[in-house]
Amino acid sequence: MARAVHALLLALGDLPRRPVLAILVQSLALTLLILAAAATTLFFAVRQALDHWQWLRGADLDMAGIVIALGLLGASWLLFRAVAIMVVGLFGDAIVADVEGRHYPAAATRAVRVSFARSLRLGLASVARLLLVNLAALPLYIALLFTAIGAPLLAFAINAALLGRDLEAMVLARHPDAPRLDRGARWALGTLSAAAFLVPVVNLLAPILAAAMAVHLIHLRAAGGQQERP
């Protein structure tokens, strides 16, 4: 965990850099655009269905629209992590390259360029895992609702594990021969990243911050492993 915290502090230092801020603005704009487009489409589709089948009329239909909008707002908050990580995956190679070029130039020279198609596959795979695993855990979530805190803790643990895996995969795409993180390091990466997504305002920075932290953690561990060898 100490190494993960060190990686987090280094990642915080990378945020004010112009290339990182440019990627942040682009990825955040695309994330919000995707969420807004999906929410708008779903809102009008559901409202049109209600009107077409005449299940609700007049004021009841307007009230249903308000409820739908509030529901979509809540869903957008929950889905922000999924969409943000997918979008950051598209910019992942640029983020990793910038951090590596500044802090780990030797590793940057050995890196393999990641194509847009590969980045897109990684992002879509991340979203698919998130949805499938959380759907599989839905019975547990429902059972733990009566414990008040059990369901949120389980959701945090599951999503932290998934996030650590996805962030590691994004960096290792450029370094296929690099050693994988051990379970503890991957869990620390996912936990700190998932915690950042829970903090208002900070969650907007969380995808880029988590990506930079993953770069630092993997290269710090690789450097530490080389130093420990006899």
pLDDT in tens, 94-147: 888 888 888 898 888 888 888 888 888 888 888 888 888 888 988 888 888 788
Instruction: Please provide the distance, in angstroms rounded to a whole number, between the alpha carbons at the two ends of the chain.
Output: 24
Say if 61 falls within a structural domain.
no
CB-based contact 139:151 (threshold 8 Å) = no
- CA-CA distance, 181 to 174, in Å (whole number)? 15
| pTM, two decimal places | 0.75
Say if 12 falls within a structural domain.
yes
CB-based contact 214:167 (threshold 8 Å) = yes
Say if 230 falls within a structural domain.
no
Domain of residue 11: give its range.
2-34+79-221
Q: Is the pLDDT of residue 173 over 70?
A: yes
> Tens digits of per-residue pLDDT, 176-205?
887 888 889 999 999 998 888 887 777 778
42-48 contacts: CB < 8 A, separation 24 or more? 42/68, 42/72, 43/68, 43/69, 43/72
**Local confidence band at 53 (pLDDT 50, 70, 90 cut-offs):** low
Say if 47 falls within a structural domain.
no
* Number of domains the chain is built from: 1
- CA-CA distance, 186 to 163, in Å (whole number)? 9
- CA-CA distance, 146 to 134, in Å (whole number)? 18
Say if 149 falls within a structural domain.
yes
